[in-house]
């Protein structure tokens, strides 16, 4: 049967104790960030290599298209450009008017934030955590808590920065909460992640509140981490249960969280002095269970 | 006369490197659920083939790298892989004498233990698995084990690593 080697058992015990020790330290404190930095730099070439076949395929698909396809696409983009320009003209006057009104009210003027483009590294993660790995890191002056969005809406925020990469938590992660506002009525609340890419929960809205299916949710800017007024989700389900004090409201994120390839990092450092608290705590994350 | 040479370390390292690459490549559609744990399987193989050289310490270090690559808690995979290496070291004498398809039974148990450990720790820090798909990589793993075993064995024989 098993020929148990006592020294092997002893060694296993030591390694297990060491694992538990560093897991505890990594989970509770931030002393091991340096170690993670070094290891993640060592492993970066691997992640780059793993992405290479995919990149080559995309590159080939981009470069081996016919002339007619390109011409057609060009025409379509041209049309869209004209259309967008027309809309933009309206927006410019609106923005000027808004700024004038805000200065009349003596409130802070919204200035557009600088944006950094980042790509997803095609790396598999734990499927029950909605974390993504981006190809920008401390070297590109990414910082912890930086908002991440795509062209449709808010995607998440950065929770860990390594020298060449960074990890972002998506708004649908079960441990993420986002301060939002219903655009139509101005009601402020929190949108909690559910672990499902298509669903956010709004658990703190009373039964008698005015919420309809199709309502747009935007960031409220409270908490200081996300800038104000960016679209987040659309309400898809509203259920009023007379037996419970709160309505059951489900919203669908506007950003295609399970299909994104490119995201934007929004520099939003101006609002608040950077706190030394860990990133997760800020937008009212539920406390970790012991 | 035939003294085992301590060479071949770079081949072992290269096999781990390839395993890392393989597991980082996403598979299409539902197949992705079954993406085998290549790194764990390669570790089991080397623990079986070279029990005097590859063991708990190597398993732990590889696991730590896996933690960094997957963005998991530092030590999560390290713990699981150290345990798997330990179990393999205890049982390698009986596993490596049977044909690869019979080995899959033992391998399945090792892979399941690894998944249980990793997701148990995830559960402790507040990310419990939501369905049973997390056991699927073990099934994908045993489907690929005979192939992996033959490839690694032939590689080891070709380079005469012992």
Residue A17 near chain B (CB below 8 Å): no
Distance from CA of A126 to the nearest CA of B (A): 7
Q: Report whether pLDDT(A275) > 60.
A: no
Report how far residue A189's alpha carbon sits from residue A200's, in angstroms, rounded to the nearest whole number.
12
**Tens of pLDDT along A200-226?**
999 888 888 888 899 999 998 888 888
Average pLDDT over residues A246-253: 91
Angle at A259 between CA A253 and CA A262, to 5 degrees: 95
Strand order from edge to edge, sheet including A262-266 = A115-119, A262-266, A147-149, A154-161, A166-170, A131-134
Q: Shortest CB distance from A124 goes to which of B26, B64, B134?
A: B26
Question: Which residues from B are below 8 Å from A124, CB to CB?
Answer: 23-24, 26, 32, 35, 70
Q: For position A279, what pLDDT does the model report?
A: 41
pLDDT confidence band for A274 (50 / 70 / 90): very low
- Overall average pLDDT of the B148-154 stretch: 93
For CA atoms A42, A44, A50, A53, give the dihedral sign: negative
Rounded mean pLDDT, B116-121: 91
Q: What is the mean pLDDT of residues A136-162?
A: 89
Higher pLDDT, B131 or A269: B131
pLDDT surpasses 80 at A3 = no
Contact A23 B76 (CB under 8 A): yes
- What phi-psi label fits residue A178: left (phi over 0), alpha (psi between -120 and 50 degrees) or beta? beta
Whole-number average pLDDT of chain B: 87
Question: What pLDDT is stored for residue B22 in this prediction?
Answer: 86
| Residue A103 confidence class, pLDDT cut points 50, 70, 90 | confident
Provide the terminal-to-terminal Cα distance of chain B, rounded to the nearest Å: 14
Q: Write the pLDDT tens digit of every residue in A67-78.
A: 888 899 999 999
- The predicted-structure confidence for A150-188, as pLDDT tens digits, reads as follows 888 899 999 888 888 888 999 998 889 999 999 888 889
Mean per-residue pLDDT of chain A: 81
Q: Would the CB atoms of A27 and B65 count as touching at under 8 Å?
A: no
CA–CA dist B44, B92 (Å, integer) = 9
pLDDT at site B1 = 40
Q: In the predicted model, what is the mean pLDDT of residues B118-124?
A: 88
**pLDDT for res A126:** 64
Residue A17 clears pLDDT 70, i.e. is over it:
yes
Grade residue A107 by pLDDT with cuts at 50, 70 and 90. Answer: low
Q: Looking at the complex, does the CB of residue A126 fall below 8 Å from at least one CB of chain B? A: yes
Q: Is A287 helix (H, G, I), strand (E, B) or coil?
A: coil
Percent of chain B surpassing pLDDT 70: 96
* Whether complex ipTM tops 0.90: no
Query: Which pair of structure tokens corresponds to residue B53?
Result: 């050289």
In 3D space, the residue among A13, A124, A22, A31 whose CA is nearest the CA of residue B75 turns out to be: A22
- Reported as a single tens digit per residue, the pLDDT across B9-68 is 888 999 998 998 888 777 777 787 888 999 999 999 999 998 888 889 999 999 998 888
Cα(A19)–Cα(B77) distance, integer angstroms: 9
Shortest CA gap B129–chain A (Å):
6
Q: What is the pLDDT of residue A38?
A: 84
pLDDT greater than 70 at residue A247: yes
Segment A38-57, tens digit of pLDDT: 888 888 888 778 778 777 88
Cross-strand partners of A216:
A234
For residue A37, give how far its alpha carbon lies from the nearest alpha carbon of chain B (Å): 9
- DSSP codes joined into one string, A83-146: HHHHHHHHHHHHHHHHHHHHHHHTPPP--PPPEEEEEB------TTS-EEEES--GGGT--TT-
Q: Which residue has the higher pLDDT, B76 or B8?
A: B76
Instruction: Give, in order, the Cα–Cα distances in Å from A91 to each of A109, A154, A186.
Output: 16, 21, 22
The predicted structure's pLDDT at residue A16: 92
- β-pair partners for A112: none
Higher local confidence (pLDDT), B137 or A114: B137
With 0.90 as the threshold, say if the pTM is over it. no
Q: Which two tokens stand for residue A206?
A: 């009373």
The burial of A6, by beta-carbon neighbours within 10 Å (0-12 exposed, 13-18 middle, 19 or more buried), is given as exposed
What is the predicted pLDDT for the residue at B62? 93
Q: Which of B37, B53, B51 is nearest to B117 (CA)?
A: B37
- pLDDT on residue A289: 41
Q: Kindly indicate the confidence band of residue A4, based on its pLDDT and cuts at 50, 70 and 90.
A: low
Chain B residue with CA closest to A287: the answer is: B126
Task: Kindly determine whether residue B71 and residue A125, on different chains, have CB atoms separated by under 8 Å.
Answer: yes
- Quick check: A32 contacting B, CB < 8 Å? yes
A123 has pLDDT over 60: no
Q: How confident is the model at residue A287 (pLDDT cuts 50, 70, 90)?
A: very low
Q: Which residue has the tokens 């079954």?
A: B34
CA-to-CA dists, residue B23 to A14, A50, B20, B70, B94, angstroms: 28, 9, 5, 10, 28
Whether residue A286 has pLDDT greater than 60:
no
Q: Nearest Cα to B58, choosing from B74, B69, B70, B42?
A: B42
């Amino acid at each position: 049967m098993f020929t148990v080697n006592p020294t092997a058992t002893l060694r296993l015990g030591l390694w297990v104790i060491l694992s538990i020790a560093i897991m505890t330290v990594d989970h509770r404190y931030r002393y091991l960030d340096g170690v993670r930095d070094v290891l993640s730099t060592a492993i970066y070439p691997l992640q780059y290599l793993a992405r290479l076949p995919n990149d080559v395929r995309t590159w080939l698909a981009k470069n081996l298209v016919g002339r007619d396809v390109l011409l057609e696409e060009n025409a379509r983009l041209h049309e869209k450009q004209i259309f967008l320009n027309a809309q933009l003209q309206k927006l410019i006057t609106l923005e000027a008017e808004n700024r004038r009104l805000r200065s009349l009210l003596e409130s802070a003027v919204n200035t557009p934030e600088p944006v950094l483009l980042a790509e997803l590294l095609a790396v598999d993660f734990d499927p029950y955590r909605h974390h993504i790995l981006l190809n920008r890191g401390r070297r590109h002056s990414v910082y912890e808590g930086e908002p991440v969005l795509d062209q449709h809406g808010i995607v998440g925020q950065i929770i860990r920065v390594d020298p060449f990469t960074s990890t972002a938590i998506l708004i649908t992660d079960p441990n993420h909460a986002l301060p939002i506002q219903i655009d139509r009525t101005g009601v402020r609340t929190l949108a909690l992640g559910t672990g499902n890419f298509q669903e956010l929960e709004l658990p703190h809205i009373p039964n008698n509140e005015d919420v309809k299916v199709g309502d747009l949710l935007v960031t409220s800017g409270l908490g200081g981490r996300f800038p104000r007024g960016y679209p987040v989700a659309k309400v898809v389900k509203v259920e009023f249960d007379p037996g419970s004090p709160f309505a059951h409201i489900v919203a669908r994120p506007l950003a295609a969280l399970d299909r994104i390839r490119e995201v934007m990092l929004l520099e939003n450092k101006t609002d608040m002095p950077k706190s030394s608290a860990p990133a997760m705590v800020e937008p009212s994350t539920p406390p970790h269970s012991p | 006369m035939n003294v085992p040479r301590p060479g071949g370390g770079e081949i072992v390292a290269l096999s781990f490197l390839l395993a890392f690459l393989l597991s980082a490549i996403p598979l299409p559609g539902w197949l992705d659920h079954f993406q085998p744990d290549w790194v764990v399987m390669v570790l089991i193989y080397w623990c079986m083939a070279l029990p005097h050289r590859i063991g708990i310490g190597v398993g732990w270090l590889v696991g730590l790298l896996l933690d960094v690559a997957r963005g998991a808690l530092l030590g999560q995979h390290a713990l699981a892989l150290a345990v798997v290496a330990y179990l393999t070291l205890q049982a390698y004498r009986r596993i490596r004498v049977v044909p690869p398809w019979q080995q899959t039974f033992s391998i399945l148990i090792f892979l399941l233990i690894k998944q249980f450990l990793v997701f148990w720790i995830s559960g402790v820090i507040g990310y419990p698995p939501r369905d049973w798909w997390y056991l699927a990589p073990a099934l994908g793993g045993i489907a690929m084990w005979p192939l992996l075993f033959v490839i690694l064995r032939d590689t080891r024989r070709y380079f005469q690593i012992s």
